[in-house]
Amino acid sequence: MSIFDKFGAIASLRDDFMELGVNPFNVVIEEVLSATEAVVNGRRTILAGTNNYLGLTFDERCIAAGKAALEGQGTGTTGSRMANGTYAGHLALEEELAEFFGCPAAIVFSTGYIANLGILSTLPGPRDPILLDADSHASIYDGCRLGTGEVIRFRHNDAADLDRRLARLGERAASALIVVEGIYSMLGDQAPLQEIVAVKKKYGAYLLVDEAHSLGVLGEHGRGLVEQAGVADEVDFIVGTFSKSLGAIGGFCVSRWAELEHVRYAMRPYIFTASSSPAIIESTRVALAVLKDQGGELRARLWDNAHRLYLGLQRLGFSLGPETSPVVAVSLGRSKEAALGIWHELLARGVYVNLVMPPATPNSNCLLRCSLSAAHTPEQVDAIVEAFAALQTQVAAC
| CATH 3.30.1360.30, domain 10-58+296-397, yes or no | no
Between CA 327 and CA 53 the distance in angstroms is 9
Give the pLDDT of residue 82. 95
Tens-digit pLDDT profile for residues 219-236: 999 999 999 999 999 999
The answer on pLDDT for 395 being more than 80 is no
Q: pLDDT-based confidence at 330, cuts 50/70/90? A: very high
% of the chain exceeding 70 in pLDDT: 100
Give the pLDDT of residue 189. 96
Q: Calculate mean pLDDT across residues 93-110.
A: 98
CATH code that applies to domain 77-276: 3.40.640.10
185 among known catalytic residues: yes
Between CA 123 and CA 153 the distance in angstroms is 18
Q: Is the N-terminal amide bond of 359 cis, ω within 30° of 0?
A: yes
Q: Which of 90, 137, 200, 213 is catalytic?
A: 213
The answer on pLDDT for 21 being more than 80 is no
Tens-digit pLDDT profile for residues 129-160: 999 999 999 999 999 999 999 999 999 999 99
Whether the CB-CB separation of 394 and 321 falls below 8 Å is answered with no
The answer on pLDDT for 398 being more than 80 is no
Give the pLDDT of residue 1. 84
Alpha carbons within 13 A on the beta-carbon side of 276: 32
Q: pLDDT-based confidence at 351, cuts 50/70/90? A: very high
Give the pLDDT of residue 24. 85
Virtual CA dihedral for 8, 13, 17, 19, nearest 10 degrees? 70
Q: Which of 139, 244, 277, 373 is catalytic?
A: 244
Could you tell me which residues come within 8 angstroms of residue 109 by beta carbon, excluding any fewer than 6 positions away?
115, 118, 250, 251, 252, 253, 269, 270, 273
Whether the CB-CB separation of 359 and 334 falls below 8 Å is answered with no
Please state which of the ranges 86-95, 149-158, 195-204, 352-361 shows the lowest mean pLDDT: 352-361
Give the pLDDT of residue 362. 84
Between CA 222 and CA 228 the distance in angstroms is 9
Give the pLDDT of residue 26. 86
Whether the CB-CB separation of 338 and 20 falls below 8 Å is answered with no
DSSP 10: H
Q: pLDDT-based confidence at 97, cuts 50/70/90? A: very high
DSSP 347-363: HHTTEE-EEE-TTSSSS
Between CA 216 and CA 229 the distance in angstroms is 14
Q: Calculate mean pLDDT across residues 61-66.
A: 98
Between CA 94 and CA 89 the distance in angstroms is 9
Please state which of the ranges 23-32, 298-307, 319-328 shows the lowest mean pLDDT: 23-32
Closest CA to 252 of 124, 33, 244: 244
The answer on pLDDT for 202 being more than 90 is yes
Domain limits of the chain? 10-58+296-397, 77-276
β strands within the chain, DSSP E: 31-32, 37-40, 43-47, 105-109, 130-133, 151-154, 177-181, 206-210, 237-241, 251-255, 327-331, 351-352, 354-356, 367-371
Long-range contacts of 6-11 (CB under 8 A, 24+ apart): none
244 among known catalytic residues: yes
202 among known catalytic residues: no
Tens-digit pLDDT profile for residues 238-294: 999 999 999 999 999 999 999 999 999 999 999 999 999 999 999 999 999 999 999
Q: Which of 136, 185, 245, 255 is catalytic?
A: 185
DSSP 372: -
Give the pLDDT of residue 196. 98
Give the pLDDT of residue 287. 98
Whether the CB-CB separation of 209 and 180 falls below 8 Å is answered with yes
Give the pLDDT of residue 73. 98
